[in-house]
A and B are shown apart, each in its own frame.
Chain A
Amino acid sequence: MRTSHLALSLAALAAAPFAVSATGSGRASTTEGRDYVAVKAGTIYLVEDGQVVTDGTILVQGNRIQAVGTDVAVPVDAKVVDYGADAVIIPGLVAADTTLGSGSSSNRTAEPGLNAIDNFDFYSSFAGPLSSGVTTAYVKPTDQRLIGGSGALVKLHGEDPERRTLRAPATVHGAIHSAARNAPGYWDPPVPATVDVGIGYEKPQLPKSPMGAIVALTELVNAARGGVDLEEEYGPYAAEGLREQLDAGVPWRITAETETEILALLDFASESGLPVVLDGASEAGYVSEEVAASGLPVVYGFPWSPNRRGVDRGKDDDARWPSYDVPAKLLAAGARVAISSGSTSDLLFAASAASQGKLDPSAALRSITLTPAEIYGVADRVGSIRAGKDADFVVLNAPPISLGATPIATWVDGDLAWDFATSGARGLAEEMGMTRDPRSGTVALQVDQLYLGDGRVLSPGQVVMRNGHIISVTEGASSPPGATIVRGAAAMPGIVDAMGHLGLEGSSRVPGLDTRMAQILAPGDAADRRVARAGVTTVAMAPRGTGSAGSPVMAYKPAAHSTNGQVLGDPAAVRLQWTDSSNRRNSGVAVRGLLEKAKEYVRKWEEYEEAMANWTPPPPEPPKEDDEDEDDEEDDDDDKKDDDEDDDKKKKKKKKKKDDEEEVEPDPVTGIWLGELEGARLRAQLKLTVEEGGGPIEGNLRCAALTDGLVEVAGFYDAEAKSVSLKGLGSNGWVAIEGEYSEAKLKGTASVGETSMEVELERTSRDFVVAKRSERRADKSDDVKPPKGMPKAPRRDQKLEPLKAAMEGSATVIVNVDRDDEILECVELFEECGITPVLYGASSAYVVADHIVGRVAGVLLSHTVRQGSVGTDTVNPYARLQDAGIPVAFHSAAEEGAIDLPIMAMYAVANGMSPTGALRALTSDAADMLSISEHVGLISVGRDGDVLLLDGPPLSPGTSVVRVWVNGVEVE
């Protein structure tokens, strides 16, 4: 088992991409007996003698298995279904205990004539059990009676009820556990009940206790074997029915849970000589020797049901709490054990969970396939994969008896009974928008070591991708249903080339910052895919060289399937040239100028935003004075009352205000003032800070005749003279208003520069409204007319936008600089502008590392990994910088040469860089520097599904990239 598992892993790694070549739609045609179907998978568990076939084929003819093995001659006309090397096939599971045929119990304590199969609906869909691998089910009539009836073995898929019935009756189904020991009294009221006949009474029925159960069983067996007439006690049909079953030789499957019940049943079995099957047996672990000695087969009922709260089983010392090692103990003692599960759909889980006590996985698999089939006498048709048996098998995505193994497809009688790809589950998922891109199903990578990209390693780890994103990253494996499971040795995030030219196709033109480089992209290039296959999934594409005005850097994924999925940031970064190697005196001049411009640009925008903040939209129509409130006063509602009270208070306040106003206006200035000047509307909003004898005024003013935009004004109010003077700098010079206040009006002169005009203003409101900070909208459609007086936005300069973004911290600036003194100067300047730059080429950055740490986003070093010539002189600037806490990244500065990045990193490792650091430099640090870390660089939930599957630890010799996913889709 263990070796085969290993073999499987290796096979998975070497395998061609996982693909189901032809699953057919719905069901394969098997009505004709001559149809051949060849089903292939990497591993096939035959179960028979524990055999495992690697790279095997099951040849199905009609509804039977014709042959199975590695070298099966497949007829030319056979339909071939290849589930790929990762797939695992096991026999269809035999659920040894289900309620699919259970219904109400009979009135009699023993009713062998109650057939569970009558309750089984062959027309029902059993997609649930089938989707969990169960193809054959034991159906039981009831657990509530000593002899509940007769059980049967049925298949869960197929057209013909007769063929689907494997055996009926298959058992005498009985129970002596507590649930079966409370049969009600039997009462058959006479019709008609007369004075002479009487209405009758309830006759008590056995059993109430285990001993009663054994007595009753013994009586019934004796009656069935003839001689004893027990019609009075058990009705006219019990003995007859049991006699038929005895003649048919069916097993007596009797449930016994506790130690006492089990021992009693063992005694009964040995005394009666009946073919008893011990069912339930949750406490059989304590008497495993006795059970084994009795030779009775056991159907162990896994004593736990999913999706429920815990069960209190008693706190006494002698309370028996379940243990899941019973099958292991029984098997060790030499008993035959089948495992059943209360939840039919969780049989695989039950077998896994009941493996405590070192149950061999192959034994666990046998206990849910061949063993139950043998116990119930149907092993000639089901339970294992063998030529001549029914073609019932399950295709799993992982070895069975491992958590997370889920069926991909279930075949019954050579018919594809359930298939994840075409099942309703898939349809539902699509309907809910879970798989919008048909190429991107759910992929789960299960690896021994999962390198997350930030230095952390999960071993083993699993990363699940769906819809282009990583949806889960977990330690261990927990395959989501329906996921394509891919196993391997290691996985890491896709590598980021921090500066390359892939996609430029040799061009050396340097475009301006306003160029959208995404325009040149087109998905589907073969070279791009090859680069990705080598592990480089993201490239920061920069033009060759950089102009004085800077050049854009676009981050994109060459191998993504769609243009939308390709672009990560355009531009993701701005590249500037600091160093002028021909004339060092000019170093930094261009950058300085550019930054000045950018600063000015940013300032303009800030001003605009501030103005927006201060601007008040024109007041709405003043509401009419309504005195109607007083009419509808009587309202019981407390809240309303309170409101009313508040209103009253307000009104009173208002009145008071008015009274005061008539005498002395304490604040004659604050509010909104309107007037007219040379045909233009003048609007001012003023605020007075009332002090003794007046106070300072601040506010703003707008008038087309005076100034273009909004003018912030300030001035003073003299209470004695009732005079107002205001001043502010407008677009045409200083704007001033001098005036006198009288009767809520302001009369005076307004002047701008040299000219002055008469003006009269009226106060329309007493509120000084502070505008909320207006939110910037990306694209405001032009046809929406801005409200009158709204501040005008400055012109958007596409060339400066990236720098602005950088100043705001949302874009990266890469600056070419090399010498240490220039580095310091450069970093200082950027710091002034609030930019943390990425230094490019800075080969002597490690010299000033202490000075720039924390002030730069990272360093893209020149490709020289080993500086200096020999011995102690040699320096690895990558390692030095990283040690100093400055992120570094590798870049190719080439097109398809990006594939050299891993070996560059390996070389850096060989020269003293830590492997973890090198991995970070290849992935997360590079993504961080380029401000694209929210998409790539890490294996973490929500990031893009860019993952590399490796056959060994990354950055170690001999490791190669096996498979690559970009945006959750494998790159082929």
Chain B
Amino acid sequence: MIAQTLRHAARLALPALALTAGAAVSVAQDAEKIVIEAGRVVTPTGPIENGVIVIENGRITALGAADEVEAPWDAVVIGGEDFTAMPGFVEAHASSGLDRANENIDVAPFLNIRDSIDPVAYFFEDCLRWGITTVNVQQGNNCVVGARGMIVRPVGMTVEEMMVRPEHGLKMSVAPKTRKSRATQLQTLNRAFSDLRRYLEELVQEKKDGGDRARREALYQGRDLDGENAEGRAMGGSAWKVEGLELVPRGEIDEKQEPLLHLIEGRYPAYIYCRTPMDVHHALDVARENGFLARTTLVIDDGCWKAADVIAEAGVPVVLDGDQIHTERDSFTGKEKETFVPGILHEKGIRFALSSTNSDTDSLWFQAASAIGFGLEPEVALSSVTQTPAEILGLGKEVGSLEVGKHGNVVLFSGDPMSITSWVEHVVIEGREVYDRSKDVRNTHLLDGTRPPGTTAPVDEE
């Protein structure tokens, strides 16, 4: 019996090994210069036939038709005239690649998503496979005030290696967390800010009274009280202020309260999850009352299209976290009504990004193609997975399109990017080729049955 169990274990272990081997797809080619040739290069000013992209030190230095651009003689050349070059896709909001997406404490801005990111998660490997080169990783939607997020490139063995922007954004949700109703959710959310205010006022009062409890606590907790932290700063919030905060050295402010203060002061943008159209109203109210509306992005479920006018009026961008088609059932007649959400958002002039997590595919490229299929203009659809999310993330000048000066994040498709028969063949992130389909072990195993090198097929017992 024991022997049998062991044999079972061995059978299970073998493919596991094979998968681990497959995870090492991202073979970093540390070339300072790389030249990408493509039959078609998609740029903001229109496609270039037979184009060349020159990337030096991670940035695009030249871009144009093959006969116009002089390629450095010592550069590595990839691609060919069969390929179409696209900017790397940008994922504006994802709660994937995490050990766990959510924390059970309602208000936990002191958390940092950095501590949850798993660099070897399949999600990041899939990102490359689908040509996603920039990912904004945020806590899951089941929270009130969640962790600080992070923008990463989906390649690297450590979080630091992946990091594009640390401490980017603070996740919040107005949609009720498990076991909460909308009212209790909102109460908790609003209370997080009033708690901060109370805390800061008490701190100032204590400082004025000459108390040193906060200082002793900070020292006890081993917080840094030197340099910048030795000084106090007036609060930079636009909606409300605490008079006399400059009296309090920043180092003395509790770590649990600090991130919200930073949000109000404008250090991070906010990503607020909304499940229903009513949530949109509440989210905007919270952002307005605390002065971070201008830095707010709504992560919306498909039903929120009904509040499109409100979103448009507030001028905030959105990330569509739900399906592209919103289905609603009339409780009287049982008839179903379908609404194409990106179409509405575009019509109302809302800047929106599609998200790869909103259906059963991980592919932003597929999302964009579906949106075109449902009738969205191709430029808008393309922008909603490249330039718009880049702008939402504050990386509009870095990524999102193929332009000179931007990061060399390029995806080479085997054909028309919006065709289902096309594949992502090569992915280049900041001048490094990080994905080559011909070397994608998992893909070849899946499609051709070729086993990863060094593995053997499991042997059946009988």
Question: What residues on A are CB-neighbors of B256 within 8 Å?
Answer: 191
Query: Which stretch in A108-116, A403-411, A554-562, A896-904 binds the other chain?
Result: A108-116
Q: Is A104 an interface residue (CB 8 A)?
A: yes
Asked if A123 and B278 sit within 8 Å, CB to CB, the answer is: yes
Question: What residues on A are CB-neighbors of B281 within 8 Å?
Answer: 122, 161
Query: Which stretch in B31-39, B118-126, B141-149, B178-186 binds the other chain?
Result: B178-186
Q: Is B277 an interface residue (CB 8 A)?
A: yes
Among A118, A127, A236, which residue has its beta carbon within 8 angstroms of that of B331?
A: A127
A423 to B330, CA, bound (A): 11
Asked if B332 and A237 sit within 8 Å, CB to CB, the answer is: no
Among A102, A114, A127, A425, which residue has its beta carbon within 8 angstroms of that of B187?
A: A114
Count A-B pairs with CB separation below 8 Å: 75
Among A101, A103, A128, A236, which residue has its beta carbon within 8 angstroms of that of B176?
A: A103
> When A103-B176, A106-B187, A236-B198 are in contact, do A119 and B105 touch as well, CB less than 8 Å?
no
A378 to B419, CA, bound (A): 60
Q: Is B451 an interface residue (CB 8 A)?
A: no
A127 to B282, CA, bound (A): 24
Asked if A115 and B186 sit within 8 Å, CB to CB, the answer is: yes
Among A106, A119, A149, A428, which residue has its beta carbon within 8 angstroms of that of B182?
A: A119
| B330 nearest CB neighbor, chain A only | A424
Asked if B331 and A114 sit within 8 Å, CB to CB, the answer is: no
* Minimum Cβ distance to chain B for residue A98 (Å): 14
Q: Is A427 an interface residue (CB 8 A)?
A: yes
Asked if B181 and A103 sit within 8 Å, CB to CB, the answer is: yes
| B280 nearest CB neighbor, chain A only | A123
Question: What residues on A are CB-neighbors of B179 within 8 Å?
Answer: 104
A106 to B331, CA, bound (A): 31
Question: What residues on B are CB-neighbors of A119 within 8 Å?
Answer: 181-183
* Chain B, 290-334, CB within 8 A of any chain A CB: 306-307, 330-334
* Minimum Cβ distance to chain B for residue A31 (Å): 14
Q: Is A606 an interface residue (CB 8 A)?
A: no
* Chain B, 158-197, CB within 8 A of any chain A CB: 176, 179-184, 186-187, 190-191, 194
> When A103-B184, A104-B179, A104-B184 are in contact, do A123 and B307 touch as well, CB less than 8 Å?
yes
Among B183, B191, B194, B332, which residue has its beta carbon within 8 angstroms of that of A424?
A: B332
* Minimum Cβ distance to chain A for residue B356 (Å): 27
Q: Is A372 an interface residue (CB 8 A)?
A: no
Question: What residues on B are CB-neighbors of A123 within 8 Å?
Answer: 276-278, 306-307
Question: What residues on B are CB-neighbors of A101 within 8 Å?
Answer: 183
Interface string of B222-257 (1 = CB under 8 A from A): 000000000000000000000000000000000010
Interface string of B317-359 (1 = CB under 8 A from A): 0000000000000111111000000000000000000000000
* Minimum Cβ distance to chain A for residue B280 (Å): 9
| B277 nearest CB neighbor, chain A only | A123
| A141 nearest CB neighbor, chain B only | B183
Asked if B181 and A104 sit within 8 Å, CB to CB, the answer is: yes
Q: Is A431 an interface residue (CB 8 A)?
A: yes
Asked if B183 and A428 sit within 8 Å, CB to CB, the answer is: no
A113 to B192, CA, bound (A): 13
Asked if B333 and A106 sit within 8 Å, CB to CB, the answer is: no
A431 to B307, CA, bound (A): 31
Asked if B332 and A103 sit within 8 Å, CB to CB, the answer is: no
* Minimum Cβ distance to chain A for residue B216 (Å): 12
* Chain A, 76-121, CB within 8 A of any chain B CB: 101-106, 111, 113-121
A103 to B181, CA, bound (A): 5
Asked if A427 and B183 sit within 8 Å, CB to CB, the answer is: no
> When A118-B282, A121-B278 are in contact, do A127 and B181 touch as well, CB less than 8 Å?
no
Most buried by B among A101, A104, A115, A236: A104
* Minimum Cβ distance to chain B for residue A442 (Å): 17
Q: How large is the interface on B (under 10, 10 to 19, 20 to 34, 35 or more residues)?
A: 20 to 34
| A150 nearest CB neighbor, chain B only | B183
* Chain A, 121-172, CB within 8 A of any chain B CB: 121-123, 125, 127-128, 141, 149, 161
* Minimum Cβ distance to chain A for residue B47 (Å): 42
A191 to B254, CA, bound (A): 12
| A430 nearest CB neighbor, chain B only | B333
| B198 nearest CB neighbor, chain A only | A236
Question: What residues on B are CB-neighbors of A427 within 8 Å?
Answer: 332-333, 335
A667 to B191, CA, bound (A): 103
Among B110, B187, B191, B331, which residue has its beta carbon within 8 angstroms of that of A115?
A: B187
Question: What residues on A are CB-neighbors of B306 within 8 Å?
Answer: 123
* Minimum Cβ distance to chain B for residue A455 (Å): 43
Question: What residues on B are CB-neighbors of A431 within 8 Å?
Answer: 333
Asked if A428 and B105 sit within 8 Å, CB to CB, the answer is: no
A395 to B242, CA, bound (A): 55
> When A113-B191, A118-B282, A236-B198 are in contact, do A125 and B183 touch as well, CB less than 8 Å?
no
* Minimum Cβ distance to chain A for residue B105 (Å): 6
Among B191, B278, B282, B335, which residue has its beta carbon within 8 angstroms of that of A237?
A: B191
A918 to B86, CA, bound (A): 93
Question: What residues on A are CB-neighbors of B277 within 8 Å?
Answer: 123
A181 to B332, CA, bound (A): 39
> When A122-B278, A123-B306, A237-B191 are in contact, do A425 and B332 touch as well, CB less than 8 Å?
yes
Question: What residues on B are CB-neighbors of A424 within 8 Å?
Answer: 330-333, 335
> When A122-B278, A191-B256, A236-B198 are in contact, do A115 and B183 touch as well, CB less than 8 Å?
yes
* Minimum Cβ distance to chain A for residue B258 (Å): 14
A128 to B331, CA, bound (A): 9
Asked if B332 and A428 sit within 8 Å, CB to CB, the answer is: yes
Asked if B105 and A114 sit within 8 Å, CB to CB, the answer is: no
Question: What residues on B are CB-neighbors of A102 within 8 Å?
Answer: 181
Most buried by B among A123, A128, A161: A123
> When A118-B183, A118-B282 are in contact, do A127 and B332 touch as well, CB less than 8 Å?
yes
A424 to B330, CA, bound (A): 8
| B304 nearest CB neighbor, chain A only | A123
* Minimum Cβ distance to chain B for residue A427 (Å): 5
> When A118-B282, A121-B276 are in contact, do A106 and B332 touch as well, CB less than 8 Å?
no
Question: What residues on A are CB-neighbors of B198 within 8 Å?
Answer: 236
A123 to B339, CA, bound (A): 15
Asked if B184 and A114 sit within 8 Å, CB to CB, the answer is: yes
| B285 nearest CB neighbor, chain A only | A118
| A117 nearest CB neighbor, chain B only | B183
Most buried by A among B182, B191, B334: B182
Question: What residues on B are CB-neighbors of A141 within 8 Å?
Answer: 183
Question: What residues on A are CB-neighbors of B176 within 8 Å?
Answer: 103
Question: What residues on B are CB-neighbors of A111 within 8 Å?
Answer: 187
A460 to B389, CA, bound (A): 71
A348 to B225, CA, bound (A): 68
Among B105, B108, B187, B191, which residue has its beta carbon within 8 angstroms of that of A118?
A: B187
Most buried by A among B184, B282, B307, B331: B184
Asked if A118 and B307 sit within 8 Å, CB to CB, the answer is: no
Most buried by B among A103, A125, A141, A425: A103
A122 to B282, CA, bound (A): 12
A674 to B277, CA, bound (A): 85
Question: What residues on B are CB-neighbors of A122 within 8 Å?
Answer: 278, 281
Give me 19 other A-B pairs in contact (C-beta within 8 A), A104-B181, A424-B332 excluded.
A101-B183, A104-B179, A106-B184, A111-B187, A113-B190, A114-B187, A118-B282, A122-B278, A122-B281, A123-B306, A123-B307, A127-B331, A191-B105, A237-B191, A424-B331, A424-B333, A424-B335, A425-B332, A428-B332
Where the two chains meet, the residues of B that have a C-beta atom closer than 8 Å to any C-beta of A are: 105, 108, 110, 176, 179-184, 186-187, 190-191, 194, 198, 256, 276-278, 281-282, 306-307, 330-335
Where the two chains meet, the residues of A that have a C-beta atom closer than 8 Å to any C-beta of B are: 101-106, 111, 113-123, 125, 127-128, 141, 149, 161, 191, 236-237, 423-425, 427-428, 431
Question: Can you pick out 22 interface pairs between chain A and chain B where the beta carbons lie within 8 Å of each other?
Answer: A102-B181, A103-B182, A111-B187, A114-B184, A114-B187, A115-B183, A115-B187, A118-B183, A118-B186, A121-B278, A122-B281, A123-B278, A123-B306, A125-B331, A127-B332, A423-B332, A424-B330, A425-B332, A427-B332, A428-B332, A428-B333, A431-B333
- The 6 A-B pairs with the shortest beta carbon distances in the complex, nearest first, are A103-B181, A424-B332, A118-B183, A424-B333, A119-B183, A104-B181
